[in-house]
Structure 1
Amino acid sequence: MTPGRDDRIKSGHDGEKGRALPGKPLPVDGATAAPDRRRSARGLPEGLLLSFHGDDYTGSSAVMEVMSFAGLPTVLFLGVPTPERLARFEGYRGIGFAGVARSQGLDWMDRHLPAVFRTLAGLGAPVAHYKVCSTFDSAPHVGSIGRAAELAVPLLGGKWHPLVVGAPEIARYQAFGNLFAAGPDGGRYRLDRHPGMSRHPVTPMDEADVRIHLGRQTSLPVGLVDCVSMKRGEADAALEREIARGAAIVALDVIDAETLAEAGRLVWERGGERVFAIGSQGLEYALVAWWRKAGLIPEAGEASLARAGAAERIACVSGSCSAVTAGQIAAALEAGFEGIRVDAALAVDGRAWEGELDRAAEAALAALGAGRDPLVFSALGPDDPAVASMRTAVESSGVPVEAVNDRIGAGLGRLLDRVVRTAGLKRGVIAGGDTSGHAAMTLGVYALTALAPVAPGAPLCRAHSDDPAHAGLEIALKGGQMGKPDYFRAAKRGSAQG
């Protein structure tokens, strides 16, 4: 539904509603405090700066985090909002809609995404962003980034479409078009050799070059502005060459703070009055880096970041199969969380799955009654026998894997909802990029705003709900690759630092 109100959201409110004030040029990478030699000739307009649609819920909250903690208030709606709900956040600088496209096929995308993109177009933000995972999770048949781009371009337009995936803040790097990510051991891996992403159960990465990977999903030509061109001051010329060659999508390398800000400059200065961009939260990191470098927004200090305070009790659910999440679960159990395993293979049968959820919910409530924090999980990493067991069950049942994934996510959401309501909890965590979307939709929450940083890409959020049971809920949506080993404990204490 397209909002039935003035297309431009006005700014100038206090508290949660408002905008950042322009600051003076600030040092970048040790440079002296002087304007950049290519300082922006384009200021920040009043009102809405950015609209976005995320292909899963955890990634969507990461965009909100980057913008909000840079002093640019941003709201994330769990679905396309009604005009009345949208009006409650008048004055915000970023507006986003979370979705579940990452776990869906092409037919689903064709049915659902055009309406979302029409709504983004109606908001009239200078930058419209289709947000994807920082590990570029996608395939031609499921979560196709290419198909999403094909649906968005006719509605959101633009001469060219930036693709920004690298984000050093979360250990994602793109060099000469190839994407690298940190592994659970702290090493940096090309994605097709990454210990987790190369073996992802739904979208395994067998190609690290984003141009080739994306080219398998769309006929839109994909170009590149590489990091050498950026560091030599030749990025503008490189961009013009790629556009002249017919590139519709242009990937921008990001390997460090310098190339991050340069990517932001290209998007903001060379994208035109309206630009449709694709990428991870690296796009927002890049824009914020350029806006700061150009003196358009002030530098954000650590002291400005809020802490939520510690929760007496917390409930967590995880449908993630990543090694990173497995390490976080292990650390939480060592710290006294009560681990409760659910058999996800039972999700091929609706009745059996509901029985399994009832058992797990009762165990979670018993743990809370005994003074322990429940952590319900379906697997401990990609090598857990439960992963193979579920795959076998799906193949034997004939039930589409997408339907089973939906059932698992929604079921974990109902479980969390039951535990939170019964025990009167005010804080929870949902782990797993695909899981979080389906789980969050069952909680009766219609929007999230950033509350406190816990880990880059996975903040603690304030829930907005018309349901009194969840109106004050604090919740974190954690992607499989996000966070340090103590993530669940950090979410309980309400901050990254002890």
Structure 2
Amino acid sequence: MTNAIARPLLGCIADDFTGATDLANMLVRGGMRTVQSIGIPSREVATGLDADAIVIALKSRTLPAAEAVEQSLAALAWLREQGCEQIFFKYCSTFDSTAGGNIGQVTETLLTVLDSDFTLACPAFPENGRTIFRGHLFVQDQLLNESGMQHHPLTPMTDANLVRVLQSQTALNVGLLRYDTIAQGVEPVRAKIAELRAQGISMAIADALSDRDLYVLGEACADLPLLTGGSGLALGLPENFRRAGKLRDFDVSSLPQVAGDEVVLAGSASVATNGQVAAWLEAGRPALRIDPLKLAAGEPVVAQALAFARDSNQTVLIYATSSPEEVKAVQRQLGVEQAGSLVENALGEIAFGLLEGGVRRFVVAGGETSGAVVQALGVTLLQIGAQIDPGVPATISHGEQTLALALKSGNFGGRDFFSKALKQLAGGAQ
């Protein structure tokens, strides 16, 4: 960070930790100096922030809607105090939400407080295979509800029609901004938005089949007080500020090296993370699986994991990742909430124990897991560095103890992600 403190241009509210780093990664790629705060920064931290974009990471995706709204409003108030010119509400590229929300409720409230009557909702991320066509979300070549997301233990997505999903979460009218309008460019999109507003539409799902579509949407919506979507929609936002002469050129992705031991922690049950765990095991690398049933029975699982890591002379993987069938079997015995919290708390305790033992580089898979780990480690502020895989940057923490972290959404990353992330965290900027 530099001595000349700049007022942030873009203020972002993310509904989980890995979603926040995903968005921050996209902004860094666009040339915005970006910091990520774990929760709302303290007054002391706020006075020293020097960034073009600030991303506040909440853990609100699976909270009751009223709590998610309350936390999001507090984040909005803080960002407005810093002078942010535009607000971005970030959620998952698979539009994850519980049966009761929270995307629609949070968006509706943010619109009201910002005194705005319209915003877009676009979770598309083509680089990671998430596209939207005629309002339907695809993951690679499959509809959302056939992609494996229908088995998600916390936010099962059983409907690919995002207009219908969003409309079920808000009293405002939801419409569609179709691909054929977006293909015509910025001005036709602006004209269509004006038409939708005249029809009383307050939120519009935006189709997006390619990065070009996202750049068009970003430019067309430069003047909207609020945008919502996945990280892909942020592709075009840095250029808006650059075009206005507000963005300076910096090497935004360079991070210092962090010495110390390393570990991989995985709690996600997603298809991608299952593949990454399998690749690690196939390579014959040391790994220990956390059993939630043993945790529930009071067995010393955390102590066993710490001993396993301490006694190994290699980098270890400690994981709770399992198949959807195994997850459901555990949930039937323990309940969905208890099964998840047991694993998250255990991985957080393990992370803290490893920190005390000298681990300084952490690769973490899963949004809920990442939230538990960074809280256990006492991390409150991250500087965002270069991309490891689409949607996942390297980061370092600011504070008394400098740590290197790669916080990965469960659905992101190639099969070799763990080894790639460890290599990049060990080598600093790539």
Q: Is the 8 A contact 1:18 1:73 kept in 2?
A: no
Q: After superposing the two structures, state which structure 1 stretch, 66-75 or 290-299, moved more.
A: 290-299
- Shift of the 107–160 alpha-carbon distance from structure 1 to 2, 3 Å rule, reads closer
- Shift of the 456–17 alpha-carbon distance from structure 1 to 2, 3 Å rule, reads farther
Aligned to 1:419: 354
Amino acid at match of 1:338: P
Amino acid at match of 1:318: A
Aligned to 1:137: 96
Post-superposition offset of 1:68: 1.9
Post-superposition offset of 1:112: 3.3
Q: After superposing the two structures, state which structure 1 stretch, 488-497 or 318-327, moved more.
A: 488-497
Aligned to 1:352: 298
Cα offsets for 1:180-219 (capped at 9, x unmatched):
123xxxxx2221121x212212222111121111111111
Instruction: Write the distance in 2 (CA, Å) between the matches of 1:487 and 1:452.
Output: 14
Q: Is the 8 A contact 1:324 1:381 kept in 2?
A: no
Post-superposition offset of 1:297: 6.5
Post-superposition offset of 1:160: 1.0
Find 2:172's aligned residue among 198, 220, 224: 220
- Shift of the 266–381 alpha-carbon distance from structure 1 to 2, 3 Å rule, reads farther
Instruction: Write the distance in 2 (CA, Å) between the matches of 1:403 and 1:380.
Output: 16
Post-superposition offset of 1:110: 4.7
Q: Secondary structure at the match of 2:405?
A: strand
Amino acid at match of 2:89: Y
* Regions of 4+ moved over 4 Å: 15-19, 289-300, 303-313, 495-498
Amino acid at match of 2:53: G
Instruction: Write the distance in 2 (CA, Å) between the matches of 1:123 and 1:402.
Output: 36
Aligned to 2:130: 172
Instruction: Write the distance in 1 (CA, Å) between the matches of 2:102 and 2:12.
Output: 17
Amino acid at match of 1:418: G
Find 1:189's aligned residue among 139, 142, 161: 142
Instruction: Write the distance in 1 (CA, Å) between the matches of 2:4 and 2:129.
Output: 31
Find 2:87's aligned residue among 128, 136, 160: 128
Find 1:153's aligned residue among 107, 111, 114: 111
Instruction: Write the distance in 2 (CA, Å) between the matches of 1:112 and 1:406.
Output: 20
Find 2:237's aligned residue among 262, 266, 287: 287
Post-superposition offset of 1:159: 2.9
**Structure 2: tracts of 5 or more residues without a match:** none
* Structure 1 residue 392 corresponds to structure 2 residue 339: no
Instruction: Write the distance in 2 (CA, Å) between the matches of 1:18 and 1:177.
Output: 44
Instruction: Write the distance in 2 (CA, Å) between the matches of 1:111 and 1:261.
Output: 31
Q: After superposing the two structures, state which structure 1 stretch, 403-412 or 444-453, moved more.
A: 403-412
TM-score normalised per structure 2:
0.90
- Shift of the 443–139 alpha-carbon distance from structure 1 to 2, 3 Å rule, reads same
Instruction: Write the distance in 2 (CA, Å) between the matches of 1:304 and 1:72.
Output: 7
Instruction: Write the distance in 2 (CA, Å) between the matches of 1:411 and 1:17.
Output: 40
Instruction: Write the distance in 1 (CA, Å) between the matches of 2:337 and 2:2.
Output: 37
Q: After superposing the two structures, state which structure 1 stretch, 118-127 or 47-56, moved more.
A: 118-127
Find 1:76's aligned residue among 32, 36, 41: 36
Amino acid at match of 1:329: V
Post-superposition offset of 1:376: 0.9
Post-superposition offset of 1:296: 8.0
Post-superposition offset of 1:251: 2.2
Post-superposition offset of 1:111: 4.5
Aligned to 2:416: 486
Alignment of 1:24-63 (within 5 A): 47-63=7-23
TM-score normalised per structure 1:
0.79
- Shift of the 105–227 alpha-carbon distance from structure 1 to 2, 3 Å rule, reads same
Q: Is the 8 A contact 1:164 1:279 kept in 2?
A: yes
Find 1:363's aligned residue among 308, 323, 332: 308
Find 1:258's aligned residue among 212, 220, 227: 212
Post-superposition offset of 1:446: 0.9
Q: After superposing the two structures, state which structure 1 stretch, 101-110 or 475-484, moved more.
A: 101-110
Cα offsets for 1:222-255 (capped at 9, x unmatched):
1221110121343222211211111111222221
* Structure 1 residue 95 corresponds to structure 2 residue 54: yes
Q: After superposing the two structures, state which structure 1 stretch, 445-454 or 286-295, moved more.
A: 286-295
Instruction: Write the distance in 2 (CA, Å) between the matches of 1:208 and 1:434.
Output: 23
Instruction: Write the distance in 2 (CA, Å) between the matches of 1:403 and 1:222.
Output: 35
Q: Is the 8 A contact 1:48 1:93 kept in 2?
A: yes
* Structure 1 residue 277 corresponds to structure 2 residue 208: no
Q: Is the 8 A contact 2:31 2:252 kept in 1?
A: no
Aligned to 1:476: 406
- Shift of the 165–256 alpha-carbon distance from structure 1 to 2, 3 Å rule, reads same
Q: Secondary structure at the match of 2:222?
A: helix
Q: Is the 8 A contact 2:36 2:57 kept in 1?
A: yes
Identity of aligned residues (%): 27
Cα offsets for 1:337-379 (capped at 9, x unmatched):
31100012345x4x716x2222222112222xxx211111112
Q: Is the 8 A contact 2:27 2:34 kept in 1?
A: yes
Instruction: Write the distance in 2 (CA, Å) between the matches of 1:115 and 1:290.
Output: 26
Aligned-residue CA RMSD (Å): 2.8
| Number of matched pairs | 426
Aligned to 2:318: 376
Post-superposition offset of 1:53: 1.3
Instruction: Write the distance in 2 (CA, Å) between the matches of 1:286 and 1:159.
Output: 22
Q: Secondary structure at the match of 1:426?
A: strand
Post-superposition offset of 1:309: 6.6
Aligned to 1:5: none
Aligned to 1:10: none
Instruction: Write the distance in 2 (CA, Å) between the matches of 1:17 and 1:128.
Output: 25
